[in-house]
Structure 1
Amino acid sequence: MSEKRSVSEMFGCNVFNDSVMRERLPKAVYKDLKKTIEEGTELNPAIADVVANEMKEWALEKGATHFTHWFQPMTGVTAEKHDAFITPTENGKVLLEFSGKELIKGEPDASSFPSGGLRATFEARGYTAWDCTSPAFIKETPDSTILCIPTAFCSYTGEALDKKTPLLRSMQALDIQATRLLHLLGKKNVKNVNTSVGPEQEYFLVDKEKYLQRKDLIFTGRTLFGAMPPKGQEMDDHYFGIIRERIGKFMKELNEESWKLGITAKTQHNEVAPAQHELAPIYATNNIATDHNQLLMETMRRVAERQGLKCLLHEKPFKGINGSGKHNNWSIVTNTGKNLLEPGDTPHDNQQFLLILSAIIKAVDEHADLLRMAASTPGNDHRLGANEAPPAIISIFLGEQLEDVVKQLVTRGEATRSKHGDKLASGVHTLPDFEKDATDRNRTSPFAFTGNKFEFRMVGSTQSISDPNVVLNTIVADALSEVCDELEKVEGDLQDVMMEAHELTKRMLTDHQRVIFNGDGYSDAWVKEAERRGLPNIKSMVEAIPALITEKSVKMFEKFGVFTEAELESRAEILFEQYAQTINIEALATLDIAKKQIVPAVMKYQKTLADSVAVLKATGMDTDVQESLLGDITENLKKLYTAIGILESETDKAQSIKDMNEQARFYHDVVFGCMNAVREPADKLEMLVAKEDWPMPSYGDLIFEV
């Protein structure tokens, strides 16, 4: 088993990675494929048969019997259809074959995946296309071993039906514009530019047996009922605390399974809330990081099952304690290894960095509504703006050093100095003094510069990181394109271009400084200040979705070939539908649990209490306490039953609305509030009914008994 193998032996053992390709492919084929992967050149179909055969032989040696085109439809999860390697022969036997055609193209049924009107139900044909920039891998389960080939998924008429295709398009757009800019700035040796991403993944672990007693967790991924236990996260003792043995065992197996798949699982720790944890990988190319994050979430769930646990990835599985996010650490890197967001020791005179930084600030300011939309899920509506997550207002944290440089450029037209960190002296002789960073961190900022990258902290824990990165890549490509347009007008040599770049930097910082905010994003004062600055405060998913289909957004996405107008409209429709379906399921689950579990349990306890009162009265004993408790239970039961009736009626109304936009808004504005009205008396009743008579495990059972 894996315990006997070193990490270096284990890492990437189930990946058809560069070292495997170099070893198994003919030199000419390897060189051709490598050029496509690294430089983005067109794939040579002539090499497909050779690659497919070697991939098959490698997979067979690993015990694989089937292959699948692994893709990411707009459901937000992954999809796969398994095909065996067998081909029948005339003598009743089979050959094990895998052709280049099968590698390059697959044909899953497209009719049952979300398409937002791009495909009618009877129009079933869709295609998967091999993405050779993300390596194939072996997925091992107790029942099967499958060769998985990462693919894009599109319709018969060519529209993107997945998360990968727009991401690859956006990466290409940013590559073209960033390379164009660098050439204008004299960096002719740069051939291409990639975005690099490291997504931190937060999650909860609960006992599987207790999970199976909670219908709300089973149906919706979050608790629809639950009174707070006496202790939550108030003592801050879970954060970075000692990892319990059972959780440590899960983390060990998760690391091993991740490493086999080439996922660079690096950091693990307990998060702020009880039963909450985090895993962070090392950076990877945007496309691979996205594939890895999807695989990681799937692996977390699978490993948890084997350990008798359940992994909860919902943004807010428990009311009243911190929810889970997925911090998307994003940077831009050239093929020469240069991080374009590395400010250096003296950022004030790093003109290339300041120009790119100011373009990003411009992009975020001009498209704040799109960035907010990119972090929108029904679950994230519970989280954004709460104490563990950024507010719904998009702003940029730069830190003291860069904020000072920006201020110099805006007010004086020149930056002549950069602040530096002082020595940090502990006051203990045996502890070394060390250099402080020039900038502190800001956990309340949704988009924070953290040394050599931007951390987009709004992203929800269940989300594919494709969505936020498609937006980030495209809006920055748009800003860089405008910069290039201006610089290309310059007549003169490189020095003249750099002078114009300096002027452009000052102009962009002056025009877009309103989005820079280094203060407390949780404060009420910031909400008022943001309104004064004219920054949007988009509080919910249904308010955010229309940003996709504004004239400004459509024009930008079409300009760079990331989305067509039809693809954007389809995605908006899908998002409205997903929101409505999510709240509908939650409403129906609320009704099911309240009517079939909570009300009967309360009535049974109510009768027991009433019988007790009668017996005590018959003996002449004082029953004031029992009658007071019985009165509280009766009052809250009446409130609960009334609220159930209203929720039932409003859910029926919501289901009858045909327009998807209107329906989603009704679920948000009306149904969601009715669900809370059911929950309020139910949670009070949980505190009044004896624990052994309550029909489901409590919050305390779920988050402390793992």
Structure 2
Amino acid sequence: METVADYFGSMVFNDKKMRECLPKETYKALKETTREGKDLDLNIANVVAHAMKEWALDNGVTHYTHWFQPMTGITAEKHESFITPTKDGLALLEFSGKELIKGEPDASSFPSGGLRATFEARGYTAWDPSSYAFIKEKTLCIPTAFCSYSGEVLDKKTPLLRSMEAISEQAVRILHLFGKTEVKRVVTTVGPEQEYFLLDKSLFLKRKDLINAGRTLLGARPPKGQEMEDHYFGSLKPRVAAFMQELDTELWKLGILAKTEHNEVAPSQHELAPIFTSSNIATDHNQLTMEMMKKVADRHGLVCLLHEKPFAGVNGSGKHNNWSISTDTGVNLLEPGDSPKDNEQFLLFLVAVIAAVDDYQDLMRVSVASAGNDHRLGANEAPPAIVSMFLGDELTGILDSIANGTVSANKARQSMLLGVHVLPHFPKDTTDRNRTSPFAFTGNKFEFRMLGSSFSVSGPNIILNTIIADRLEIFARQLEGAKDFSLELAKLVKETYQQHRRIVFNGNNYSSEWVEEASRRGLLNLKSTVDALPTFIAPKNIEVFKKFNIFSTTEIHSRYDIVMENYSKTINIEALTMVDMIRRQIMPAVSQFTGNLASSAVSKHALVSSLSLSYETELVSQLSNLCDSLAKETETLEKLVVEAKMISDITESARFYHAQILPEMATVRAICDEMELLVSDKAWPLPTYEELLFSV
């Protein structure tokens, strides 16, 4: 019987396959290129391309594609066959190093934020040899970066790779000062926990809002939701278990380390979590995971929803970004060591993260901003929009002791040059988890919990890598010029925490008291995307991206335009869908229902004139009044959408959608949901929340 070990990674041209298929010298040269970031020699590329093609052909592949990640948030593919014509009218199957290294997809129709005009079609994809090629549906997929003809970055992979290089360079500088000269490279790792909903496909197809918007725009709350807490970690229903089993198989074939799966809090909500891997590969894998979730669900008569808030009144879906940083020698830099020197190093990197998150809390918020995620943040299921950090009582106590110049109350008595007693073996789980914290230390990593479920993890990790690289660069300059390294280190840790301790909060982030306390501390409360996004183009933020060559000024502004425009487009689609559903489904159905009620009342009265008919009379009157109100508010919503279309400025348009159209949509929904509770199940034209959430 075939086991997981037999097929794990079978569809990946991984290190094992390369050792088998490539000559030793070619394999060695390729690994050096990947490790040191050198340009790939064309002769080596030709050998790699031939081996990759032969392996793919052995697996039934006929086409290849440069698989890239444009600013749409999903992946893109342009398929090319291996066929090359011959003079005698036949064909050869060829794949050159040039074709491996570079492709040329059309760049005009992807979001560019004004970087490209419609008539400027040329764009290039460039092979990323640090991420393995793989086979998906009989096509060889080659992970690539994507840029325009004139060199502007048009994707999410290139800046991520740049940010990884930036933090590696600065971290290595720091480590060499600690005498760790054997370290040549530092890698950031990510383990994204993916939440999602599964719905019955036949019910999904009856909801225009789910089809067009990915979330329900209408729907009264069912009698039972998640309040019994009986779905979380509950036993898997047969259809869900079958889906998860096949999903695991497909992911394992692609070398994706799918590890944990379970029912989540809301009915029909679930989660999948992988084992950590490097940030760029984790990003590739998460994009593939989301794609496979949708495809496997379809084969089971299901639909996988990745929207952040598919249903009002129950938990939405997030994606917890577990971030850490490790050396090429296998040392996790966020894990306390066995010696005072290692703990000095740990504390330095820790306060670097604290300072970076405090200085750039606006960028942290920007990295998770979207129309969908605005519905979820702060809704007692996700952290609030205020960025803060959870360290736990014990670690916070150590840092407070350092900052205050007092003796730590910890049990361990290993003295450090920092002047306090610090644990030589800091246990991973010395404190409870804080599920309300946006950015929580969980032993040897930070869990960034604000991401929406549909997000690419590239954006948040670009931000994290860049801002921490910035703080490490400041530290490196300060320590490299120190006359006494140990004294300067102690001063640096102490002063950095003193200046940035306001960002640390270990309490309940949902409480109103915290909102007031955060304001007193001077922390930002950027409640919506339109509040948060303008900070992306603030001078200090442009400067940090330019400093490490992550983005140019033009590229930053283009991304600002793309995200802001996407916000308006999303709400525009939702509003138009809502109007369509009200006009073509809800109002005709309610009108027919009230007409039948009225006819029934007339017939009853004709039969027995003494009947009061209060039920029919009151319900017909109530529904008719609601229908009038609904028609009026729907007309107002439609006019507002037309008005929004007349606003040419991207920022002003988004603000209008947020301030005018979203509140009107809420008004329309409230009326419609009230009507739903008065109309019979048979007469209501849409599958209800009860059907949607409890049918799988």
> Which SS does the other structure have where 1:327 is aligned?
strand
Show the counterpart of 1:56: 53
Aligned to 2:626: 636
3-state SS, counterpart of residue 691 of structure 1: coil
Quick one: structure 1 residues 698 and 61, their matched pair in 2 at CA, closer, same or farther if it must change by over 3 Å? Answer: same
| Structure 2 Cα separation of the partners of residues 139 and 324 of structure 1 | 27
Match in the other structure for 2:490: 502
Change in Cα spacing, 1:383 to 1:460, as seen in structure 2 (3 Å) is: same
CA distance in 1 between partners of 2:41 and 2:106 (Å): 27
* One of 271, 277, 280 as aligned partner of 1:284: 277
**What is the correspondence of 1:347-358 to structure 2 with a 5 Å cutoff?**
350-358=343-351
Q: How many residues align?
A: 681
Partner of 2:601: 613
**What is the match of residue 686 of structure 1?**
676
1:419-438 correspondence runs (5 A) = 437-438=429-430
Which of 656, 660, 664 is the matching residue for 2:654?
664
Pick from 455, 463, 473: which aligns with 1:471?
463
Q: Secondary structure at the match of 1:120?
A: coil
The match for 1:205 is: 198
Q: What is the correspondence of 1:639-658 to structure 2 with a 5 Å cutoff?
A: 639-658=629-648
Shift of 1:345: 6.7
Shift in CA distance, 416/521, structure 1 to aligned 2, threshold 3 Å: closer
- Contact preservation (8 Å) 2:394, 2:410: no
CA distance in 2: counterparts of 1:616 and 1:419, whole angstroms: 85
- Rate the CA distance shift 1:304–1:625 in 2: closer, same or farther, 3 A: same
Q: Write out per-residue CA displacement over residues 592-626 of structure 1, whole angstroms, 9 at most, x where no aligned residue.
A: 00100000000000100111111222222220122
Where 1:315 maps in the other structure, the secondary structure is coil
- Could you tell me which residue of structure 2 aligns to residue 109 of structure 1? 106
Q: Which residue of 1 aligns with 2:423?
A: none
> What letter is aligned with 1:607?
G
- Residue 439 of structure 1 deviates from its aligned partner by 1.1
Conserved in 1, the CA contact under 8 Å of 2:428 and 2:443? no
Superposition deviation, residue 344 in structure 1: 4.0
CA–CA distance in structure 2, aligned partners of residues 701 and 175 of structure 1? 50
Q: State the partner residue of 1:402.
A: 395
State yes or no: 1:382 paired with 2:370.
no
Q: What is the CA–CA distance in structure 2 between the aligned matches of 1:576 and 1:562, rounded to whole Å?
A: 20
Cα shift readout 1:286-324 (whole Å, capped 9, x = no counterpart): 000000000000000000000000000000000000000
2:97 maps to which residue?
A: 100
State the alpha-carbon separation in 2 of the partners of residues 498 and 548 from structure 1.
Answer: 37
Return the match for 1:701 from 683, 691, 695: 691
Match of 1:20 in 2: 17
Instruction: Report whether the alignment pairs 1:453 with 2:445.
Output: yes
Deviations 1:173-213 (A, max 9, x none): 00100011101121101000000000000000000000000
Match of 2:454 in 1: 462
Matches of 2:167 and 2:407 in 1, distance apart?
29
> Match of 1:148, SS?
strand
Aligned residue in 2 for 1:181: 174
Counterpart residue number, 1:627: 617
**In 1, Cα distance between equivalents of 2:159 and 2:510:** 33
Partners of 2:79 and 2:671 lie apart in 1 by 49
Match of 2:475 in 1: 483
1:461 counterpart letter in structure 2: S
Give % identity.
Answer: 58
Could you report, residue by residue, the CA deviation over 1:415-464 in whole angstroms, capped at 9, with x for unpaired residues? Answer: 584679xxxxxxxxxxxxxx993111100000000000000000000000
Tell me, what secondary structure is at the counterpart of 1:480? helix
| Aligned match of 1:432 | none
Matches of 1:172 and 1:349 in 2, distance apart? 24
C-alpha distance after superposition, 1:212-242 (max 9, x if no partner) = 0001000000000000110000011000000
Candidates 37, 40, 43, aligned match of 2:37: 40
Distance 1:349-1:21 versus aligned 2 partners, 3 A rule = closer
**Deviation larger for 614-623 or 57-66:** 614-623
* Pairwise CA distance, 1:489: 1.0
Partner of 1:232: 225
Q: How far apart in 2 are the matches of 1:340 and 1:515?
A: 21
Q: Any conservation in 2 of the 1:347–1:402 contact (CA below 8 Å)?
A: no
Taking structure 2 as the reference length, the TM-score comes to 0.96
Q: Which residue number in structure 2 is paired with residue 602 of structure 1?
A: 590
Task: Tell me, in whole angstroms, the C-alpha distance in 2 between the residues paired with 1:346 and 1:437.
Answer: 19
Q: TM-score, normalised by structure 1?
A: 0.95
The CA distance in 2 between the partners of 1:542 and 1:165, in whole Å, is: 26
SS of match in other structure, 1:203: strand
CA deviation vs aligned residue, 1:529-583 (integer Å, no higher than 9, x gap): 0000000000011111112111001111000000000000000000111001000
What is the identity, as a one-letter code, of the residue corresponding to 2:196?
Answer: Y
Match of 2:504 in 1: 516
Instruction: Call closer, same or farther: CA 1:53–1:348 in 2, change over 3 Å.
Output: closer
> What amino acid maps onto 2:447 in structure 1?
E
**In 1, are the aligned partners of 2:66 and 2:141 still within 8 Å (CA)?**
yes
Aligned to 1:200, what secondary structure does the other structure show? strand
Residue 548 of structure 1 aligns to which amino acid in structure 2? F
| Residue identity matched to 2:614 | D
Deviation at 1:40, TM superposition (A): 2.9
1:395, 1:515 within 8 Å by CA — same for their partners in 2?
yes
Question: In the alignment, which residue of structure 2 is the partner of 1:89?
Answer: 86
Whole-angstrom distance in 1 between the partners of 2:313 and 2:662: 17
Matched residue type, 1:161 = L
User: Is 1:338 matched up with 2:331?
Assistant: yes
Q: Is the 8 A contact 1:346 1:417 kept in 2?
A: no
SS where residue 672 of structure 1 aligns?
A: helix
8 Å CA contact 1:347, 1:418 repeated in 2: no
How much does 1:629 deviate?
Answer: 1.4
C-alpha separation in 1, matches of 2:549 and 2:409 = 40
Are the structure 2 counterparts of residues 232 and 23 from structure 1 closer, same or farther at C-alpha, using a change threshold of 3 Å? Answer: same
Aligned residue in 2 for 1:426: none
Equivalent residue in structure 1 for 2:250, among 257, 262, 265: 257
Partner of 2:419: none
**2:429–2:442 contact (8 Å) kept in structure 1:** no
- Quote the Cα distance in structure 1 between the aligned partners of 2:206 and 2:266: 22
Residue 587 of structure 1 deviates from its aligned partner by 0.4
**Amino acid in structure 1 at the alignment position of 2:39:** E
* Aligned residue among 408, 412, 433 for 1:441: 433
Contact 1:110 1:126 in 2 (8 A): yes
In structure 2, the residue matched to 1:169 is 162
Name stretches of at least 5 consecutive residues in structure 2 with no aligned partner: 414-426
- One-letter amino acid of the counterpart of residue 97, structure 2: G
Range 691-700 or range 405-414, more displaced: 405-414
Residue 688 of structure 2 aligns with an amino acid whose one-letter code is: S
Matched-pair contact (CA < 8 Å) for 1:222–1:316: yes
What is the correspondence of 1:539-618 to structure 2 with a 5 Å cutoff?
A: 539-618=527-606
Measure the CA separation in 1 of the matches of 2:342 and 2:109: 55
1:614-665 deviation line (CA, Å, top 9, x unaligned): 1222222220122111122112111111110110110100011111111111
Instruction: Give me the whole-angstrom Cα distance separating, in 1, the residues matched to 2:38 and 2:133.
Output: 19
The answer for the alignment partner of 1:673 in structure 2 is 663
Instruction: Give, in angstroms, the shift of residue 361 of structure 1.
Output: 0.3
Letter in 1 for 2:32: K
Partner letter of residue 531 of structure 2? E
Q: Select which of 78, 92, 107 maps to 2:75.
A: 78
